[in-house]
Chain A
Amino acid sequence: MSELLIETEDGDLDSAPMNLQMGPSHPAMHGTIKMRLKLDGEIVQRSDIEVGYLHRGFEKSCESVTWTQVLPYTDRLNYVSPLCNNVGYCMAVEKLIGVTATERCQYIRTIMAETSRIGDHLTCVGASAMELGAFTAFLYAIEAREELWRLTEAVTGARLTHSYCRIGGLKDDLPLDFEASYRVVEKKVRSLIYDIRALLDTNRIFLDRMKDIGCISAERALSLGFTGPCLRSTGHDYDVRKYAPYMIYDRLDFEVPVGVKGDNYDRYLVRLEEVDQSLRMIDQCFKQIPAGPINVDDGRLVLPAKDEVYHSIEGTIAHFKLIMDGIKVPPGEVYSYTEAGNGELGFYLISTGEGRPYKCRVRPPCWALMQGVAEMVEGYQIADIVPTFGSINMIGGECDR
């Protein structure tokens, strides 16, 4: 205990640092993590981050279900942007099988993934504002997300756990009036983002709380494996959509916003700017999207039409085999990565040729981000933990799996 005592400057008053257990049940520790803090007054001297409180055994569960049945599990990884996970998983399996989704399917996947990303970024920006006490900005962000969710619900049938993608295609095509209803939502979202920025961007209290707090350098971020907005806020422009374009991202004209210092304010700005870029991408997708089938023409992957199932023996058998045995994925292993809301979401799959994954390993972007949290909060004040942790956007479902 004696080495914990701090000698004050005049040497006559001793005070020991306070050990504080923050979480796992604490309003700021969303996604249930625990921080063990050593506090010198208000200053965080040391912090120890404990993750794993939301562990559900995602990877193990995947081994006992068919390749298609994994999809609903992926919804629950980053539950704020489930469509990005859907796309990431389906692309991994398709890469292992060696098929490419149809043009139209790729455009629809892009549109939906970007919609999801907007929702993710807005939630993060809003939540970190709320944790600073700016509750109004939070509810504006949530309202914008709500509009997006209503749109997504019209497409996928679910608000949160969409399970929209299928291996080799999609559950359904877009509704006929999708573009029209998207335009309405887009207008609303843009005006809400304008309101959020008007409330926060030049607000002196907000700037003082966000600027130069929770800094991390690009080198350090890279060595910790940061990806996504948190890495880009440090000035590094790594974005899977640019570095290793998948689907149709190489045909879209968009920019990768980067920050300078890697502080909370940069993360905030990068996220808001990415929302703008996502809206831009969706616009281009609507211009380029071709007509055509949404599923690959391969009876081994895609369920036959209902008409065939009910009226032909081949259709019935194909349906039965796909549902009961699952898609037969050729033996092999693959690593496929996409840009999800928080960064590089990787799926490492091993197949032994059965209808079920032998191994489904996820590389969640949050896991790497959490490694940096300790050094991003140390030396700052206890009140700074909140915006820093908020702007990291740790999602328990993805980090702890």
Chain B
Amino acid sequence: MLVLIALTLLKVVGIVLAFVMLVATIMTWADRKQSALIQDRIGPNRASIGSVRAAGLIHILADALKTLFKEDFTPRDANQGLFRIAPFLAFVPALLAFAVIPVGDTYCPDGAFIVQNFRDVCTAGAQADYFRVSNMGAGLLCIFAIVSLGVYGASIGGWASNNKFALIGGVRVTAQMVSYEVTMGLTLVGLLMIYGTVDLNEMVRAQGTLLWGFVPMWGIVTQPVAFFLFFTAAIAETKRPPFDIPEAESELAAGYFVEYSSMRFALFTLSEYVASVLVAMMVTTLFLGGWQVPYLYGDGLHNPMTGDLALSIPYLLVKVIQIGAFCFKVLALCWLQLQVRWTLPRFRYDQLMKLGWKVILPLSLINVLVTGLWLLVAA
């Protein structure tokens, strides 16, 4: 039991704190540097320790120190309790959702396995889940359940501030997140039909199957429409531009967190970056084959034409490569989100709702129908 707890804690520290929080904080820097690149600027480069500036990376530290030491201001007429708790309600669910994302494949004890049907099957003892915090079977449903909790933080924060701008932002955030959750869920139905599981690791393993002998059966191949719909809906769910209408700084000042300062403010912004990382991880897991590297299985690289082992690689190294591939895909998707963020203008509230309910939702329903027909024909 103690070993189990220690292992889980280790996984939490390793995945959530070391990877997710690192990527999220680095995104605060990358966001500024990326925009500077696009906009012909230099970007942050002033914060320094001694003479070390590290291309502006020290700004992350400076930001953290600054937000920690700022006055934590609470408006007099705000609902004190809810006002204080709202940032945590936003931040905690954002972090919780990472519990079920598989960063790497299950591990076979003693490296004893055979590659069968495009996946590693352990021969000696049970496979161990070292690379995700929780191996609950209903992983995908769990993510949706947790993500939908995130709306409470923002809407309670907006309401408890006792500020009209914040209230409008809070109302917008509620409508936006509730609508896009529906859409997000429906876009994935086709995926569930094809892979027949909601266990995320099983889904990733299924994506290692080769279609017609050489095309990896990644989600983006089997469900290309769903990929675009889900990615759009998921960015909308993060409340990041171009879907940042709840905080639309030009009309609502800062929307639902306009009254927040200090670390509570930082928690709201950070939870958006964490949500971006979550989107990147979900899209990677569902559509880009998660930790899969094409033709790479437990024993090494396989020749897609013949199916024979082409290059033998030690089991542990394979695991490292796979985890590296996962991280690479996540970072690439984070970068893509930044690129979108700095290119497009913001939607208007009603246009966003129209996009969600009248475009993405019907398209995802059609997608479900088409997938069903295709499966029927294929069977």
Contacts and interface: CB of A to CB of B under 8 A. Distances in A.
A binds B: yes
Chain B interface bracket (under 10, 10 to 19, 20 to 34, 35 or more): 20 to 34
B244 interface: yes
Interface in B323-379: 342-351
B244 A133 contact: yes
A205 B346 contact: yes
B348 A18 contact: no
A42 B350 contact: yes
Contacts of B242: 133, 205
Contacts of A209: 345-348, 351
Contact of B345 (A27, A140, A206): A206
B164 A203 contact: no
B115 interface: no
Nearest to A21: B164
Contact of A203 (B168, B244, B245, B344): B344
Contacts of B346: 132-134, 205, 209
A135 B344 contact: no
Specify the main secondary structure of chain A where it touches its partner.
helix
Interface stretch (B47-55, B63-71, B246-254): B246-254
B343 A199 contact: yes
A382 interface: yes
Given A136-B39, A382-B168, A208 B253 contact: no
Contact of A27 (B40, B164, B168, B253): B253
Contacts of B345: 129, 132-134, 200, 203, 205-206, 209
A154 interface: no
A386 B250 contact: yes
Interface in A371-388: 381-386
A129 B39 CA distance: 14
A207 to B, nearest CB: 10
Interface in A329-383: 381-383
Given A28-B250, A383-B248, A383-B251, A133 B241 contact: yes
B349 A383 contact: yes
Nearest to B351: A208
Give the top 10 A-B pairs by smallest Cβ distance, nearest first.
A133-B346, A134-B345, A132-B345, A131-B250, A139-B39, A383-B348, A386-B250, A133-B345, A28-B250, A386-B251
Interface of A: 18, 20, 26-28, 42, 129-136, 139-140, 143, 199-200, 203, 205-206, 208-209, 381-386
5 contacts: A136-B35, A203-B344, A203-B345, A381-B349, A383-B349
